[in-house]
Amino acid sequence: MKLGLKSRSRRVVQDSAVAAAAEKLKNNISDSKNMDEKLREDYRCWTNLPTELMREVLIKIEESESKWPERKHVVACAGVCKSWREAIREVVKTLENSGKITFPISVKQPGPRDSLVKCFIKRNSSTQTFYLYLSLSQALADDGKFLLAARKYRRAMCTDYIISLHADDMSKGSGTYVGKLRSNFLGTKFVVYDAHPPPTGVKMAKNRSTRMVASKQIFPGVPASNYPVAHISYELNVMGARGPRRMHCIMDAIPSSAIKPGAVAPTQMDFRVRGVDSFPQIPSSLSKSSDLDKALSGPLDGQRDGSLVLRNKAPRWHEQLQCWCLNFHGRVTVASVKNFQLVASPESGTVGAEQGKVILQFGKVGKDVFTMDYLYPISAFQAFAISLSSFDTKIACE
């Protein structure tokens, strides 16, 4: 009995010491920009912690800082040194398993299975720029945690939305470029391109215009590519009938089996490309109109075997309100032709509850504010790109 109490007492003291160490580390990280020499020396001592103690400290911080902006301490821990970076990668689980967005790679990982990741998009109409934020409260739009940004560029035969991790740098030559959305001339067909190779085991067709970036390439020998990961199509409204848009998405990078119980969707774990732990530079993609037409019409003319297919959930007509309605559970407050919910299509082999489960919903809540909620098996990047397609003008569909 005495031994048990002694062991328990030692453990309580140890836990208290770990908690104190974690709190001190967070304070040091917060003050790291204004360190004098003594504080710098203390900061360097953290890199020499015994492995077991270091891991316990990191676990304590990861568990206590579950939401933003406090979660910045978890990110800061990864910058202490290489051993801390490797340890924090083991401690922090994927978005699917933890429900927490931590590192930039989280925007490329599938969302959690049972709860929507609630986000919102702010549009700057004057600059044709769109900003994606993670909601930090139950409000439809708050300060939010910035995730992604996109800017619209009109071309002669198409429209591009360049997607970046940086709110102000939308250059495809930038290290923060993560992909793009490209439409055809009518705005009825879109292709989502990922700047990074798909996870191991996913068979993808490389964009035919992929080429090396000449002397400006950051990493010589590493081919910079655009990988088509999704095709979006809006049905033409030939008869001019009034009603909601009809769309469907073929997720080339996600097998239809991913939504079955026990199955796992492909998950990117980092941005590494052939040993390079960073972003490659990305060249401009399809330049010839013939190539563009082929890319935009490819899998949509005949579904790519085994790919997950999403379709918009059919709204119901409300006689009293005299409008089409969908249940967004309070997340959408303004009627708009842009509003939609996506569910898995029967073509993907879904049955029962899985068939009606909303995987992505998008809708208007203000003049330039829209909510965007998503869950497994799509990522924030894919959800953002699909939502951007709704902003594009579609004369032939309305």
19: nearest Cα among 48, 81, 62: 62
- Tell me what the pLDDT averaged over the chain comes to: 76
The per-residue pLDDT for range 297-323, each reduced to its tens digit, is 555 444 566 899 999 998 888 778 777
Q: Which residues pair with 159 in a beta bridge?
A: 154, 183
Specify the pLDDT at position 261. 83
Q: Which residues are CB-contacts of 91 (< 8 A; sequence separation ≥ 6)?
A: 55, 58, 59, 62
The amino acid that residue 356 corresponds to is G
339: nearest Cα among 368, 363, 365: 363
Specify the pLDDT at position 40. 59
The per-residue pLDDT for range 124-153, each reduced to its tens digit, is 999 999 999 999 888 777 788 999 999 999
Contact call for residues 242 and 236 (beta carbons, < 8 A): no
Q: How confident is the model at residue 108 (pLDDT cuts 50, 70, 90)?
A: very high
Specify the pLDDT at position 245. 80
268: nearest Cα among 382, 157, 385: 382
Specify the pLDDT at position 285. 38
The Cα-based distances of 292 to 151, 155, 211, 223 in angstroms read 20, 12, 16, 21
Contact call for residues 338 and 363 (beta carbons, < 8 A): yes
Would the pLDDT of 14 be above 90?
no
Q: Reduce the DSSP state of residue 302 to 3 states and report it.
A: coil
Specify the pLDDT at position 210. 43
Q: 297-305 contacts: CB < 8 A, separation 24 or more?
A: 297/189, 298/228, 298/231, 299/231, 299/250, 299/252, 300/189, 300/231, 300/233, 300/250, 303/250, 303/347, 304/250, 304/252
Least confident of 55-64, 181-190, 222-231, 280-289: 280-289
- Looking at the chain, list the stretches that DSSP marks H as alpha helix, in order from N- to C-terminal side: 2-30, 37-45, 51-64, 72-77, 82-91, 95-98, 289-297, 353-356, 380-391
Q: Distance between CA 296 and CA 323 in Å, rounded? A: 32
Instruction: Give the pTM.
Output: 0.79
Q: How confident is the model at residue 243 (pLDDT cuts 50, 70, 90)?
A: low
Q: Please give the average per-residue pLDDT across 161-184, as a whole number.
A: 88
Q: How confident is the model at residue 288 (pLDDT cuts 50, 70, 90)?
A: very low
Would the pLDDT of 198 be above 80?
no
**Bridge-based pairing state of the strands 316-318 and 369-374:** unpaired
Q: How confident is the model at residue 25 (pLDDT cuts 50, 70, 90)?
A: low
Contact call for residues 299 and 231 (beta carbons, < 8 A): yes
User: Hey, which of 63-77, 212-226, 246-260 has the most confident mean pLDDT?
Assistant: 246-260
Q: How confident is the model at residue 123 (pLDDT cuts 50, 70, 90)?
A: very high
Q: Which residue has the higher pLDDT, 132 or 274?
A: 132
Specify the pLDDT at position 34. 53
Would the pLDDT of 1 be above 90?
no
Specify the pLDDT at position 51. 81
Specify the pLDDT at position 28. 57
Q: Tokens 């927490």 map to which residue?
A: 100
The per-residue pLDDT for range 325-341, each reduced to its tens digit, is 888 888 999 988 899 99
Q: Which residue has the higher pLDDT, 369 or 201?
A: 369
Would the pLDDT of 232 be above 90?
yes
Would the pLDDT of 19 be above 80?
no
Percent residues over pLDDT 70 in the chain: 68
Q: Please give the average per-residue pLDDT across 271-299, as a whole number.
A: 42
Specify the pLDDT at position 345. 87
Q: Tokens 């190779």 map to which residue?
A: 197
Tell me the HSE value of 169 on the side-chain side, using a 13 A CA sphere.
9
